[in-house]
Every structure is written in structure tokens, then in C-alpha cells.
Homo-oligomer: A and B are copies of this chain.
Amino acid sequence: MADPSALVLPFILCGGSGTRLWPVSRESMPKQFARLVDVSESTFQTTARRVGDTDVFAQPAVIAAAESRFIVAEQLAQAGIAADIILEPEGRDSAAAVAVAALHAARFNPETVVLIMAADHVIGDVAAFASAVRAAAVGARAGYTMTLGIEPTHPATDYGYIHRGGAIAEAEGALAVARFVEKPDAEGAAALIAEGALWNSGYFLFRADLMLAELEAHAPEVLASARAALDNATTDLDFVRLDAAAFAKAPKISIDYAVMERTTRAGVLPVSFPWSDVGTWDAVWQVLPQDTYGNAVRGRVEMLDTTNSLVHSEGEGLTTVVGLDNVVVVATPDAVLVTSKAQSGRVKELVGVLRARAHPEADAHRRMYRPWGWYQRVDIGERFQVKRIMVTPGGRLSLQKHYHRAEHWVVVRGTAEVTLNDDLVLVHENEAVYLPIGSMHRLTNPGKIPLELIEVQVGSYTGEDDIIRVEDIYGRSPG
């Protein structure tokens, strides 16, 4: 077994709602949790697995938005990865998250080397990444805040750049950072590449105690708020929930502005593995495997004479494209996006329009994740609605009633324990139960496999706000 003090402690930052990859990525399911690049796992899961080499990495920690806690936990469990999960009551930008990470790591050992990772980046070579982290950690232990600087492959305008400084003697291959450069225009990008600048990957490595000293020097309010939020944190189920009042006082500032551009000890390790922040559908096309016509295809797709295109088809539907070049077609069960690769950077603007026009698809997915599992609407009519509901083993919905609808539940998989007024009944696969209007009811999965049921609501109003919660094990508000 490796010496624990020699391991790097990864923190995966899971914030960000990722509207740039709508309609797959939405507020209710940001892109890092979607199976966007890999068919079998989300980018977050791939990121967590990327730090699975126990010779290099300690057990990772995740910093996530409180709303994302159940999807984070479910995806980690699916992937069989153990991790501490720290919940931010609200997003306060990356400096506050880094401060929490440094404080959390310093509790175990002040000299722990911390790796900060975004949950939504794609890296093509896991072994090269682990080697780079190992090399950069040498610089971190020597007292530098290290970044990984990617050797550019094209004059990108959507990344920041880093000018190389002199060699850092203590760490082989590492260089001082001469200067950070904001996202350039096309001309600027070409000039930066000619000057040998590197892409700023946003991956940082540092010793916890030294980052705390940097924060103390350059962003003391951020550090004080993070410290108070962590000191007053509560443990809720298996989550560490930062104190909301304290954390809300942290100034919203990025770690780049707060520390990296001010410290005298910023280092960079140039690396050349394939890397992308997958910020547009064009970028998704670039990281996906392409066929001989340059097409990257996902799901049920058929094409005629179509080239250099991304066609992503989710759910059961069939998506077809005829005679087009360089297009992006993304079809989900409730929303379709068609654009050109060149214009795909405007999707965020489109989502703004959708929000302004109150389209629910702007932020909500058809499948809505809840602490106990998920539900999705499958049909709706004038006086009825049909949902499929999945409850994880041990999951328990709130004790509730409705004023305007009755419900019929048909169990199609697993076993349900149903509280109905004063009775408690078990409902098995292919059995049904009826919940009259106004009845007090609760649904629990007492079993070992997921419970799935079809809910048919009948009544004059079937909106989500006709749920009168009387009791909830997940602490959700009544009413």
C-alpha cells in the first residue's frame, strides 16, 4: 500500500448548470451528470474513475450543489466509488469551493496535496493524466500552486491561456507561470500559440496549508466564510452540508482571480494528453469517435449523405438527417435542437430565450430526480396524467394527500409498501392500489430492487403543486 501522505486528494467540483449543452444538459440535470461522451457513464462518473489509481490518489471528495446531492450519490453508488460529498447551499464560485477543499484536507494532514478537478472535462488518456498529476504533485509539495497547462492543438478562443516562465528546479518538467491570459479572440489565440502559451485546464494542485496561507493573504473573507461554513456544517444522511448563512457571506470570486493571478508561486506543468472542457456541441463532436464521413452519432439515428455532423438521439425516438454538412441535431424525448457546429456556441443564448418565454423544457427534464428516485410524465390529457415512478430500495416518498386528484398505482417491478390512511399494505408486481381524493398516503420501497410503478392521476387538476406534504424523511418543506 502506498504511503497515505504521498497520495493526492482529489476534489471534484460539480457546480455549474451547463445550459450550453441544452437540451441534454439542463438545470435539473447538468451536463456533468449526463451520459454525453461515454454511453455507459456520465462525465462526472468518468472524472471520479479517473482518480481511481490508489497508488496516486486518496479517496476523492465531491463538492456539489445541494440540489444535486441525490444524483451525485446515485451516480457514485452506480460506479461503485466511495467519496465524501460536501454540499454547497448555493454556488459561491470556485474560490470558496477551493477554500472548503483546503480546509477539509488540512483536517487530516495540513501538508496533504489537493487536486481540484472540474466534473465536466474530458481527458483522453487516464494513465498520462495520473503521471502528470504525480509530476505536478512534486511541484505542489515544493510549495507551488500548480496547474496543468495543455499544449494547444488549435487556436481556441474559448479557453484561457498561460505564458510559460522559467523552470522550477524542484519539480522536473514544471515551469513558473509567467502570466495568465483571458480567453482571446481568434487573432489573439493564434499569437498566443505562436508564443508557446498553454491552455489553462483549470486543474489545480496545491498543499492544503499553503493554499490556506494564500487565501489568508489574498482572499481572507472567502477563507473566513468557508471556515465558518465547514465548522458549522451538519451531516445530513451521508452528506456534509455547509452552513448556509456562513457560506452565503463568501465573496463570489474565482480561484483564478482570488489566488492564481496574485500568488508569486504559481507553477504549470505542460502536458499534451487530449483534453476538452466540452463546452459546446461542437466540442462534443470533437471528442466523440467519428465515422469515415466525420459523423459522430449516438442513439437511434439514420442518415443519408450527411457529413461532419453530430447527431445525438436520446430515448426511444428515431432521428434522421438527409443531405446536410456540419450540423448538430440533438433529439430528446421532449425537446429537439438543430443548429450548425459553427453556431452551436449560441445554445446558451437560446436557453435564455426559452426561459424568457416560460418553456418548461428550458430547465426541467422529463425525468425529475428526487431523493427517493425519480418520476417522469409519460402521458397527459385534459383530466388525467400518467407518470412512471421509480423508488430506490429504501426510498420513501413524503406522507401526502391531494385535493384535486385520485391516483391509481400499478406496480410493474418490485414491491411497494403503501400507507393509505390508517392501513399499511404491500403491493407486488402486477398488483394495483387506488388512492381516493383526499386520502393520506405514502409510498415506500421496502425491497432490495428498484420499485417501478405506473401512476394514473385522474381529477380536475394534476399539477405538482397539489401535493400536501405532511411528513418527509428528506426534510422537504410541507405544504
Binding site for B on A (CB under 8 A): 23, 300, 302, 304-305, 313, 316-324, 327, 329, 331, 333-340, 342-344, 346-347, 349-350, 353-354, 357, 359, 361, 378-384, 386, 388, 406, 408, 410, 412-413, 429-430, 432, 434, 452, 454, 456, 458-459
Contacts and interface: CB of A to CB of B under 8 A. Distances in A.
Contacts of A378: 378-379, 386
Given A353-B304, A379-B454, A384-B413, A338 B320 contact: yes
B353 A302 contact: yes
Nearest to A329: B338
B357 A340 contact: no
Nearest to A390: B381
Query: How many monomers of this protein are in the complex?
Result: 2
Contact of A321 (B321, B331, B338): B338
A207 to B, nearest CB: 45
A23 B321 CA distance: 12
13 contacts: A302-B353, A323-B343, A323-B346, A324-B339, A324-B343, A378-B386, A379-B388, A381-B388, A381-B412, A383-B429, A406-B430, A412-B458, A432-B456
A324 B304 contact: no
Contact of A361 (B318, B349, B379, B386): B318
Nearest to A380: B316
A336 B331 contact: yes
Contacts of A336: 313, 317-320, 329, 331, 336
A342 B325 CA distance: 13
Given A338-B324, A342-B323, A410 B458 contact: yes
A320 B458 contact: no
Contact of A338 (B317, B338, B344, B346): B338
B456 A412 contact: yes
A354 B386 contact: no
A278 to B, nearest CB: 18
Contacts of A347: 322
A334 B317 contact: yes
A292 to B, nearest CB: 18
Given A320-B338, A406-B430, 6 more contacts: A322-B346, A322-B350, A324-B343, A384-B412, A384-B452, A408-B408
A346 B359 CA distance: 33
A346 B320 CA distance: 12
Given A359-B302, A384-B413, A386-B379, A322 B334 contact: no
A383 B412 contact: yes
A339 B306 CA distance: 9
In the A-B complex, the 9 residue pairs with the closest CB atoms = A323-B343, A384-B412, A322-B339, A378-B379, A430-B458, A410-B456, A319-B336, A318-B335, A378-B378
Nearest to A22: B320
A425 to B, nearest CB: 16
A434 B327 CA distance: 49
Given A323-B343, A340-B323, A413 B381 contact: yes
